[in-house]
Structure 1
Amino acid sequence: MSEDRMTRLEVLAAEQERTIEELSAELTRQWREMETLRQKLDRLTDRFLALEEQTAPDVPVTKPPHW
């Protein structure tokens, strides 16, 4: 009976190790994807701000009417 228990524990440990490795690989993949998306978002933000500056009307500097 002790041998069966030991075998079950070894199988369980092996399955858990495989699960941990799979989770780690998935986490790494998601991290890379997040970094890629963050870089794209930064580039889009820069483009949007540049376009906004180009299309913003120039506001003349004038004295308020009460001066």
Structure 2
Amino acid sequence: MDGLEARIVELEIQTALQEDLIGSLNDTVAKMQQTLDLQQAQLRLLYQRIQDRSPGAEAGAHQPADDVPPHY
């Protein structure tokens, strides 16, 4: 029975370590999701600000004169 008991103890240890690892990975994924959500919100805000600044950009009305440097 000692061999069987040792195997059971080893399996319990492995299970405990795996549960700890899964918890740690879950925390990491949750933090990454929060970061991604924040970045998406920031990107939406920047996109909206760009749209608000250039009303003609929505229709694709690009003027080549806008690209001319000021010294010309």
TM-score normalised by L of structure 1: 0.77
Q: Mind listing any 5+ residue stretches in structure 2 that lack a counterpart?
A: 62-72
Bigger relative contact order, structure 1 or 2, given CA contacts below 8 A and separation 6+? 2
User: % of aligned pairs identical?
Assistant: 23
Which one has a bigger Cα radius of gyration?
1
Q: Cα RMSD over matched residues?
A: 2.0
TM-score normalised by L of structure 2: 0.72
Q: Distance in 2 between the 1:53 and 1:6 partners?
A: 69
Q: Which stretches of structure 1, 4 residues or more, deviate above 4 A after TM superposition? A: none
Q: How do residues 1-67 of structure 1 correspond to structure 2 at under 5 angstroms?
A: 1-53=3-55
Residues matched between the structures, number: 57
